Amino acid sequence: MKQKLRHLLTQALKALQAKHVLPVEETFNVELDRPRHEGQGDLASNVALTLASQTSMRPRELAQRIVEHLPASALVRRVEVAGPGFINFFLSENAFQAIVEEILEAGHSFGRSDIGAHRSIQVEFVSANPTGPLHVGHGRGAAYGAAVADLLEAIGYNVHREYYVNDAGRQMNILATSVWLRYLELCGETVVFPASGYAGAYVRDIAAALKHELGASLCRSAADVAMQLPADAAQGGDAEVHVDALIDRARTLLGNQQYQLIYQRALTDILADIREDLEQFGVTYDCWFSEHSLTASGAVKRAIERLRASGHVYEKDKALWFRSTDYRDEKDRVVVRENGQTTYFASDIAYHMDKLERGFERVIDIWGADHHGYVPRVKAALSAMGDDPSRLDVLLVQFAILYRGGERVQMSTRSGEFVTLRELREEVGKDAARFFYVMRKCEQHMDFDLDLAKSQSADNPVYYVQYAHARVCSVFRQLKEKGLRHDRVNGNAHLPLLTEPHEQQLLAALGRYPEVVEAAALAHEPHQLCHYLRELANEFHTYYNAHTFLVEASDLRDARLNLIDATRQVIANGLGLLSVSAPERM
């Protein structure tokens, strides 16, 4: 619809160019908006306001000239110049009605398009450390990332979903050691659990599984473990120093093979848990990318070599530094430590190098907002390697704060006092969780009201939208019970009977859907879709209350049934993009 009107406007502008009213060499970017207020038409353009400065005319005068040169169209009922120089289009009733047939024909693919032209795009999201179950903070990234990916796919991009697994590094060693200490407890040893260890119950579960399968083969005496360790925080020492010493002790006492056994077991168990959790949440991946594989494949080394070759690294204090300040980072960053080990940042440079080498035209990273300081250095690395940093988009997701009974729910990962994503799903359900998470703009802090998400009432926007869907289904059940038939072809033939204001408004809302999907996808803003669905549901409920669909006259009845069936289809499609179910009964 927009495109058709845009075409008309462009025709008019070209005509004015031919008459030298407008500069000939210009190409015009014609914008069409949905006016906010009634009486301002169905679509409006501000071209006259933006172009007036290039002419000697006032905006209103130019607008009038444009209108005079508009080609006639059956879609348009009336055109007027309004306000400071807006051109308002009033569409004919038929223009709206045609959408019903279009929706019913396209079915579940209505709203999908080919704007992305199969260009490849990677979306990496969640990528939480596999040191424990996902918590509600990760949930927002999961819901948001999945929605962005699905939206992009819906407008024709070739989307690749990926999870970066931080399976290397210190945190994983702390986890492995934590598991071992719990295992020792099961062996009857009395060990003091470190302040910086992972204290969650899942650590005990992994330890118990190990004990069950391997018996006591990994047992060592508590005295050997504790011998001459630096003091933990509780004894006035440094918790981090203490836990690092514990890791070394575990390695020495167990030997590399047994230590790796525990390490790998912890990793695979937790990863399996995360994967299952996300699947239940409606989130799946094309690839789980291992950080460790970057070292094994030599990608990290190669990335560092590329930086070196471009002259952006130097040695200082026995470490190798990347001069990221050449690219507006705040300070330079270490890539190879004093002890010869590469840093996490080095892996990340290699990872992003690898992403671009795999041929994705665009790459989207979705990170927690606490990592925002990390963006400049990753982009700097891409620049230094001669890649185009604008191929990478980093989207930052703010934290969600849970409220229950009006009180803020406190959380901290290390102490094990956190609400897991799984618990959230069990408490409020997948549908409400998915919808609530993406209801807000991602860079907004979010208050997640558990009581509201759970409530099966009008306050809850998820139920409100789903209810509209269920209501349509219910009408069709009623139809059968009354022994009536729905003739879709007849309905399409009598769409011109849909002239009630409520019907016109519902039709207009349906017609907006493809634009909403496109806008939400391109802006990476699924919340636009949420708001749209709420408005659509509202239009439907209003219509429902004002008119009876199952009327005696079969022509009108069929037309109305087509309209509400189209509404049902659009709601189902929209909810589907958010992985929220569209129930037939509630």
Partner RNA sequence: GCGCCCUUAGCUCAGUUGGAUAGAGCGUUGGCCUCCGGAGCCAAAGGUCAGAGGUUCGAAUCCUCUAGGGCGCGCCA
Show contacts with RNA in window 183-222 (CB under 7 A): none
Using rule CB under 7 A, residue 447 touches RNA: yes
Residue of 145, 118, 151, 279 lying closest to 575 (CA atoms): 151
Give the nearest distance from C-beta 542 to RNA in angstroms: 4
Residue 417 DSSP label: B
Using rule CB under 7 A, residue 49 touches RNA: yes
How far is 580 from 49, CA to CA, in rounded Å? 42
- Say if CB 292 and CB 374 are below 8 A apart: no
Give the nearest distance from C-beta 255 to RNA in angstroms: 22
Using rule CB under 7 A, residue 323 touches RNA: no
Structure tokens at 488: 């879709």
Instruction: Name residues contacting RNA, limited to 514-553 (CB under 7 A).
Output: 519, 523, 525, 527-528, 531, 534, 537-538, 541-542, 544-550
Hunting for tokens 């590094």 — which residue is that?
169
Judged by CB under 7 A, the residue of 120, 129, 258, 492 near RNA is: 129
Judged by CB under 7 A, the residue of 132, 133, 197, 461 near RNA is: 461
Judged by CB under 7 A, the residue of 36, 56, 72, 188 near RNA is: 36
- Say if CB 563 and CB 503 are below 8 A apart: yes
Choose between 318 and 358: whose C-beta lies nearer to RNA. 318
Beta strand 446-449 pairing with 313-316 = unpaired
User: Cα angle at 355 between 349 and 359, to 5 degrees?
Assistant: 140
Residue environment code for 19-28, b if the CB has 16+ CB neighbours within 10 A, otherwise e: eebbeeeeee
Using rule CB under 7 A, residue 318 touches RNA: yes
Choose between 220 and 527: whose C-beta lies nearer to RNA. 527
Judged by CB under 7 A, the residue of 245, 247, 432, 446 near RNA is: 446
Choose between 285 and 544: whose C-beta lies nearer to RNA. 544
Instruction: Name residues contacting RNA, limited to 80-109 (CB under 7 A).
Output: 82-84, 86, 88
Binding part of the chain for RNA, among 91-99, 220-228, 260-268, 366-374 by CB under 7 A, reads 366-374
How many residues line the site for RNA (CB under 7 A)? 94
Q: What is the DSSP string of 11-75?
A: HHHHHHHHTTSS-TT------EE--SSTTS-SEEE-HHHHHGGGSSS-HHHHHHHHHHTPPP-TT
Using rule CB under 7 A, residue 68 touches RNA: no
Instruction: Name residues contacting RNA, limited to 550-569 (CB under 7 A).
Output: 550
Using rule CB under 7 A, residue 412 touches RNA: no
Using rule CB under 7 A, residue 319 touches RNA: yes
Binding part of the chain for RNA, among 19-27, 215-223, 263-271, 371-379 by CB under 7 A, reads 371-379
Binding part of the chain for RNA, among 268-276, 353-361, 418-426, 475-483 by CB under 7 A, reads 475-483
Using rule CB under 7 A, residue 500 touches RNA: no
- Say if CB 502 and CB 546 are below 8 A apart: yes
Helix (H, G, I), strand (E, B) or coil at 395: strand
> Looking at this protein, which amino acid is placed at residue 448?
F
Hunting for tokens 């190669």 — which residue is that?
302
3-state helix, strand, coil in the chain (%, to 5): 55, 15, 30
Give the nearest distance from C-beta 16 to RNA in angstroms: 18
